[in-house]
Amino acid sequence: MKIIQMLILLTAIVLLGCQSGSSTLPDNGETIVNGDNVSQILDKPWQLTGMIRDGNEIKLVDDSEVTILFNAEGKVAGGASVNRYFGDYELKETNLVLSGPGFGSTMMAGPEEMMTQEHLYLELLGKTNRISFSTAGMTLFADGNSVILKFEKMEE
């Protein structure tokens, strides 16, 4: 009897341990990107439509353009409001690994609200570690959904 109780306890511990390290996908019907379907997001420009941090939606600056593009060679680039940014990415199973602690970027100045948005976007982008997609949209997010970046496909 003690063996059965011990097995039940061990099983519960293992399941709870797996659950706490798992990511939660925003409930939007999108599919998690992995090695088999990553081609669905590659070499397509995506426009930022929303930023959420710790459950709070952050209003985007009117007429700003924040974009992202992943290519098959492991490069990521885009516009961050004023400046262009670039870096590397790697997809390990379903985990997105972005380059180092930051991205390279051009160094132009712009209106204060655009520069503030740019810094926040790059900070939040650096915290994401998963990608999901649908036919019209793509979401980058962090485990626990503390950061969610929503994009829609741009016309090519």
Bridge-partner residues for 152, per DSSP?
Answer: 47, 137
Q: What percent of the chain has pLDDT over 90?
A: 65
Band of pLDDT at residue 122, cut at 50, 70 and 90: very high
pLDDT of residue 12: 38
End-to-end CA distance of the chain: 65
In 3D space, the residue among 33, 14, 12, 37 whose CA is nearest the CA of residue 23 turns out to be 33
Domain ranges of the chain: 23-153
Summarize the confidence of residues 30-51 as an average pLDDT: 93
pLDDT of residue 89: 93
Joined together, the tokens standing for residue 156 give: 């090519």
Name the more confident of 27 and 152.
152
pTM: 0.79
Joined together, the tokens standing for residue 64 give: 């700003």
pLDDT digits (tens, 9 = 90+) for 87-119: 999 999 889 998 766 789 999 999 999 999 999
Beta strands per DSSP E along the chain: 31-32, 46-53, 56-58, 67-70, 75-79, 84-92, 95-98, 104-105, 130-133, 137-141, 147-153
Structural fold of domain 23-153: Lipocalin (2.40.128)
